[in-house]
């Protein structure tokens, strides 16, 4: 049976009814790719949940199909969000599909080019805030409380509901939950959603175990790890450049209930993992996505996996083409030669 999007696929686990108009771009059903290099490195079986292959290039689409469908059910005409980029790309696409207006607030100067292009081409009203994500989120929350505009950030509970379907897919794919689940943590909606999904599948007897949740924040944007709000978060991984996560408490609960951890990874470790995934596994992600893999590499250096067996799943949250400038900055540039066979052969080394 062909895939009809995450709402149809997992309808019985989602708060939708017969009258809910389903707004979908056939998100979900993303590949779970075995990682050769990470399996060799850790001695465990490592899989990459490649969420960059969703319709707008990130996992946000899983939550957005729910948020926009429910907004349409409530006859909303306008949706709003604050975004480091991918939420706005997804919200604007799904709003376009539903015939709604979308308004997106982005932190000025700190959004990847691809994401900005997406919001603009989908006809969102894009407003750059002279401030960071956390300030933008405070503003959109206030607007949505006072005006008839639906907030589609992950504080909207339907977002979490949709995003939990990634856990279901992983369990369906592997025949059970993995032993460890590594994931980047920004606003912390996704780690919350995955843990909720794993628990619901377990309670439904669709899986027989629960994974330990391993969350990773960028070193200078790690409020949960340091247990304090970071006023000026910094990292090359703009999608997780967040100093006061909306789902902070839920992320801590996911960590503690699962017996997992939330740790930091430096920008250098993120870029190393980013390049490794592209070079050895053929998988191109955006920098924030590589935080999960950087975290697994860090834990293996600390011998966290020593003597352990089983499976690790790393969520790769978004596609590398979102942020091509970062890729180009971190590799050697193309060489230029005369259009002559001999010159070319010299360069290739033949
Ligand atoms: C949104 C996003 C994250 C962070 O997810 P949270 O739910 O905010 O923790 C990580 N990576 C990418 C690519 C994202 O778009």
Pocket mutation for ligand 1, best pick of 240, 250, 290 (most atoms within 8 Å of C-beta): 240
Angle between helices 189-203 and 165-174 (to 10 degrees): 50
Pocket test for ligand 1, best of 30, 58, 164, 182 (most atoms within 8 A of CB): 58
Vertex 52: Cα angle to 49 and 58 (nearest 5): 110
pTM comes to: 0.96
Distance CA(315)–CA(217), nearest Å, equals 14
Percent of all residues in the chain with a pLDDT value above 90, rounded to a whole number: 96
Q: Is 224 in the pocket of ligand 1 (CB under 6 A)?
A: no
Query: Containing H/E element for 202?
Result: helix 189-203
The H or E element containing residue 167 is helix 165-174
**pLDDT score, position 109:** 84
Section 180-202 average pLDDT? 98
Distance 186 CA to ligand 1 centre (A): 6
Atom 4 of ligand 1: nearest residue by CA position = 186
Q: Give the C-alpha separation, 186 to 237, whole Å.
A: 10
pLDDT tens-digit map of 80-121: 999 989 999 999 999 999 999 999 999 888 788 999 999 999
Instruction: Give mean pLDDT, residues 154-165.
Output: 97
Q: Flag whether pLDDT at 167 surpasses 80.
A: yes
The string of pLDDT tens digits covering residues 199-208 is 999 999 999 9
Q: Are 7 and 288 in contact (CB under 8 A)?
A: no
CA 112–ligand 1 middle distance (angstroms): 13
211, two tokens: 């994974």
Q: Give the number of the atom of ligand 1 that is nearest the alpha carbon of residue 288.
A: 11
How many residues in total does the chain contain? 350
> Measured in angstroms, how far is the CA atom of residue 347 from the centroid of ligand 1?
41
């Amino acid at each position: 049976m062909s895939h009809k999007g995450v709402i149809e696929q997992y309808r019985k686990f989602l708060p939708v009814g017969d009258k809910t108009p389903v707004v979908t771009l056939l998100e979900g059903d993303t590949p779970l790719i075995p990682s050769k290099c990470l399996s060799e490195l850790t001695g465990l079986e490592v899989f990459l949940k490649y969420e960059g292959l969703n319709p707008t290039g990130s996992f946000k689409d899983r939550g957005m199909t729910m948020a926009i469908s429910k907004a349409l059910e409530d006859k909303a005409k306008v949706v709003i969000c604050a975004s480091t980029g991918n939420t706005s790309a997804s919200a604007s696409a799904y709003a376009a599909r539903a015939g709604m207006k979308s308004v997106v607030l982005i932190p000025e100067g700190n959004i990847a080019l691809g994401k900005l292009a997406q919001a603009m081409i989908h006809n969102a009203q894009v407003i750059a805030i002279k401030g960071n994500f956390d300030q933008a989120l405070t503003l959109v929350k206030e607007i949505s409380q006072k005006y008839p505009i639906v907030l589609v950030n992950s504080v909207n509970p339907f977002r979490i509901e949709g995003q939990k379907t990634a856990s279901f897919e992983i369990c369906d794919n592997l025949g059970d939950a993995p032993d460890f689940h590594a994931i980047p943590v920004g606003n912390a909606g996704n780690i919350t959603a995955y843990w909720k999904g794993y628990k619901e599948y377990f309670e439904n007897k669709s899986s027989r175990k629960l994974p330990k949740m391993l969350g990773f924040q960028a070193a200078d944007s790690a409020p949960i790890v340091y247990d304090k709000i970071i006023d000026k978060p910094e990292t090359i991984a703009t999608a997780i450049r967040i100093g006061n996560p909306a789902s902070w408490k839920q992320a801590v609960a996911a960590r503690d209930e699962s017996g997992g951890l939330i740790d930091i990874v430096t920008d250098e470790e993120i870029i190393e993992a980013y390049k490794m995934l592209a070079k050895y596994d053929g998988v191109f992600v955006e920098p924030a996505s590589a935080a999960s893999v950087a975290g697994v590499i860090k834990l293996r250096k600390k011998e966290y996996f020593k003597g352990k067996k089983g499976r690790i799943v790393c969520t790769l949250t978004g596609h590398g083409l979102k942020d091509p400038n970062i890729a180009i900055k971190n590799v050697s540039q193309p060489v230029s030669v005369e259009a002559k066979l001999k010159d070319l052969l010299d360069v290739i080394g033949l």
